[in-house]
Chains A and B, each alone.
Chain A
Amino acid sequence: MIDSIKSFMGWFFVTGDPMIYGADASIALASIGIVAVLTYFKKWKWLWEEWLTSVDHKKIGIMYIIAALLMLFRGGVDALMMRTQLTLPNMHFLDAEHYNQVFTTHGTIMIIFVAMPFIFGLMNIAVPLQIGARDVAYPFLNALSFWLFFVGAMLFNLSFVIGGSPDAGWSSYAPYAGAEMNPGVGQNYYLLGVQISGIGSLATGINFLVTILKMRAPGMTLFKMPMFTWSILITSVIVVFAFPAFTVALALMTIDRLFGAHFFTIAAGGSPMLWANLFWFWGHPEVYIVLLPVFGIFSEVIATFAHKTLFGYAVMVWSMVAISLLSFITWLHHFFTMGNTAPVNAFFSISTMLIAIPTGVKIFNWLFTLNKGRIQFTTPMLWALAFIPNFTIGGVTGVMLAMAPADYQYHNSYFLVAHFHSTLIAGTVFGIFCGLHYWWPKMFGYLLDETKGKWSFWIFMISFNICFMPMYFLGLMGMTRRMYTYPAGLGWTPINVVMTIGAFGMGAGFILMAYNIIWSAMHGKKDATGDPWNGRTLEWATASPAAEYNFARIPHVSERDPFIAAKEGRKSGNAASVQRYAPIHMPNNTGIPVIMALLMFVAGFGCVFEWYWMAIPGAIGVIACMIARSFVYNDHYYISVEEIKRTESATGRLS
């Protein structure tokens, strides 16, 4: 009996590696610490009532961002581990199995549990405010999306200590990722963790699509929307139409692994290439899902700190529409070398190159927004400016990859790795850091320190270049991705050393940014006006942080950049002073989303271990929650006029 328990524990918990024990211990300590602090300060009730059950888009946004920052830390530590291992030839810091798990979790976490939720966080905070709405279209669903993302991320991360991590790469190519060559639970964690959070993402896509199309303030026609809102609208469209394909692909591989089907297996007629095909049908649009929103952020920030309206507004919009259409017909460029006929490769080469055109249009429009501007170098602006040259490098190397015969030489080499870090970091990561600094006062009511912010920017940006520019050459020298080690004498060593230095530099930049957050929480400059940057769009018309109902009166809009217009004394903005306050109707908090997500977690965990006694009740619980929700009728309450007046006068906004 004892023996069988022991052997179960040995299999259940990942053992044998000091790093894992370290992680076990720190997870245990951190959990105990959190529980202790919450109990000591009697904060459980507060946590539950103010946060866990909240359906307020601003709070959900903050929770997204906190979770994404934590995941960025985890993904960053993974990256540093890889870089350490690769610094010199024949290193023994990580062994092959461990390294393989690390790049898999690094890629998956960075894309799915950092880039996406960070963006979802920022859009939750800014979009309803920018369009003058009181919340998103479906606040309940919004909370559910967040919690699904959160438990999906937790399930994925659990693999580190329980059962073993996936090791088939973030693209999980069959047949290697199939049950036969990849037994064990790691790959199941990938499939279910990503699936659960993916369902949340799909729901978010629908939610914001409806919010933006249906809930704009009166007078805000589509072509008067702020550019960030536009970018989120287009992104939502891509999310809505790309994620179902991924849902299916993940489900099919899950069925392969758990129920012995043969979609992607070697045996019985399965087609491994079909996996690659379905994965990238989602995977390519996915990179624009994490890019277009930051295009939106840059548009806001560049216009704000150049003190000019965005140059070529309509073209900016149409170029994003073009990108969204094209993004669905380029996926094959990820497997040019998988034995396609020449016409197929030719079609996808050209369709891919075409994306350079609308993207270029945007780059030039930003440059011309700066032109004849009055440029102010704030921290968010620095991130936005650095994006332009750095991302262009990533973009043009993308076009080089798009040329199929040349890609035969780049594919799966470090040239490719360099390309996608140039786009993902100089694009997405610079963008989310930019947005973080820009909207931080709106979220918390104080500013992040500028000096520290600029230092962290310079350190991170310079280190990024040190790390990833040499990497292109490493690829041309023949080093392929996903190698846990390499022999000496190939001339790869110097570049690898430089890259590792750059990687740790980025780590330093990130630590400084984290320090800035903590420091500013204590000493940060208060944002009393709600408009610290002389903003142009409606979110800056609210207090910082905005009242839970956002706008005491829904503003009326008559032109683009309505807030600057109002400040300059033109009629637009929230100058609807004739109107009286009226009671505001708000959605109730609800615990159902958290509970439902937890049940989803239980179901997912059961599936990972093929414990159907656990998975089935979990799934039934989820459905029960759905039904229960359907019978809830009084899910709203009113905020009285007195309370509105009290809140408004506290921020000096009573009129």
Chain B
Amino acid sequence: MTNATLSLHEKDQSKMPLEYTTEEGDLRIFGFWIFLAAELVLFGTLFGTYLVLQSHTAGGPTAKDLFEIGPVMAETIILLMSSFTCGLSTIELRRHNKKGLIGWMSVTILLGLVFIGLEANEFYTYAVHEGAPLSRSAFLSGFFVLLGTHGAHVSLGIVWIIGILLQLGKRGITPVTARKAFMAGLYWHFLDVVWIFIFTAVYLTGLVI
């Protein structure tokens, strides 16, 4: 159908997974990769900022004072698990198994919700109980904005996946819904990659120095 408008000439797409079979799907997925590459720079900028400001605590609490490894490990493992379940959902997508797809995606967003809950709790503890809100010092500004941006991305991802679940429920696995589900998966894995760096550059580093 879309092939008439935007034709991807001379490329045989019939052998590809469903999400690539329309030209639109192919274009969107490629564009989404480019978007993710741009996000890489966006997060890179935030990391650079955080690392520069890390020691600018202005007499307020330092990373060592605040961070606790327990909750951080919990968040990390939950996010890693969700990346795994998200991977499983993509496999179900490739098997054209709507039930499996919806099931694993639901598990993924549930894990995501738990993650957001833990993170919100961590933020709340710092800002309210420890007297360390973002306006306390440059270090805390960097911390809250880097992690907040990641958290906002995860939250947006949850909303997005819920939207896709609704569409999947209504329309089943079509080239369009398959594409959307696949892209949401990419996004989710990407956020996991970002978290790996947060875990390393923020938490572990903060505990070491």
Contact = CB atoms under 8 A, between A and B. Distances in A.
A503 to B, nearest CB: 37
B53 to A, nearest CB: 6
Question: A interface, by DSSP: helix, strand, loop or mixed?
Answer: helix
B45 A245 contact: yes
Interface string B128-164: 0000001111110110110000000000000100010
Contact of B52 (A135, A274, A636): A274
A270 B57 CA distance: 9
B58 interface: yes
Q: Tell me the interface secondary structure of chain B in the complex.
A: helix
A259 B28 CA distance: 36
Contacts of B38: 202, 205-206, 240-241, 243-244
B26 to A, nearest CB: 7
Interface in A256-309: 256, 259-263, 265, 267-271, 274, 278, 281
A261 B180 CA distance: 37
Contacts of B163: 627, 630-631
Given A248-B46, A281-B45, A269 B39 contact: no
A134 interface: yes
A359 interface: no
A268 B138 contact: yes
B34 A240 contact: yes
Contact of A245 (B8, B10, B42, B144): B42
Contact of B58 (A215, A242, A247, A268): A268
Interface in A177-209: 202, 205-207, 209
A240 B45 contact: no
A263 B142 contact: yes
B77 interface: no
B76 interface: no
B198 to A, nearest CB: 15
Nearest to B41: A244
Given A244-B45, A255-B141, A271 B52 contact: yes
A586 interface: yes
A249 interface: yes
B197 interface: no
Nearest to B30: A210
A274 B138 CA distance: 11
Contacts of A587: 5
Nearest to B8: A214
Given A210-B31, A215-B8, 16 more contacts: A137-B27, A210-B30, A213-B30, A240-B37, A244-B42, A248-B45, A251-B145, A255-B134, A259-B135, A261-B134, A261-B144, A262-B138, A268-B58, A278-B45, A585-B2, A586-B5
Give 9 nearest A-B pairs by CB, closest first: A269-B56, A269-B138, A218-B9, A244-B42, A261-B141, A260-B135, A585-B5, A269-B58, A248-B45
18 contacts: A135-B6, A137-B27, A137-B31, A206-B35, A207-B31, A209-B34, A213-B30, A240-B37, A244-B45, A262-B137, A263-B138, A263-B145, A269-B56, A278-B45, A584-B5, A585-B1, A585-B5, A630-B167
